[in-house]
Amino acid sequence: MPFPTPTGARRGSVRLITVDLDDTVWPCAPVIQAAEQALYAWLGEQVPRLTERFDPEGLRAHRRALMLAQPEIAHDLTAVRRLSLRALLAELDYDVGLADLAVELFRRHRNRVEPFADVVPVLARLRESVCLVAVTNGNADVRETPLRDAFHRTVTAAEAGAAKPDPAVFELAMRWAGAAPAETLHVGDDPLRDVEAARRLGIGAVWVNRTGQPWPGELPPPLLAVRDLHELEAWLGTAQIDSSAGGAAPGAKPGATNAL
Positions that interact with Mg ion (CB under 5 A): 20, 22-23, 189
Comparing CB distances to Mg ion, the nearer of 20 and 118 is 20
Q: What's the min distance (Å) between Cβ of 189 and Mg ion?
A: 4
Three-state DSSP class for 226?
strand
Three-state DSSP class for 241?
coil
User: For residue 24, which of 191, 245, 196 has the smallest C-alpha distance?
Assistant: 191
Comparing CB distances to Mg ion, the nearer of 90 and 192 is 192
Encoded amino acid at 152, one letter: H
Three-state DSSP class for 86?
helix
Three-state DSSP class for 138?
coil
Who contacts 12 (Cβ-Cβ below 8 Å, separation ≥6)?
236, 239, 240, 241
Helix or strand (DSSP H, E) at 154? strand 153-156
Other C-beta atoms within 10 Å of 218: how many? 8
Comparing CB distances to Mg ion, the nearer of 20 and 231 is 20
Who contacts 58 (Cβ-Cβ below 8 Å, separation ≥6)?
none
Q: At what angle do helices 98-110 and 77-91 cross, to 10 degrees?
A: 140
H runs (alpha helix) in the chain: 29-46, 48-53, 56-69, 77-91, 98-110, 119-126, 157-160, 168-177, 197-200, 229-236
> Residues, the chain, total?
260
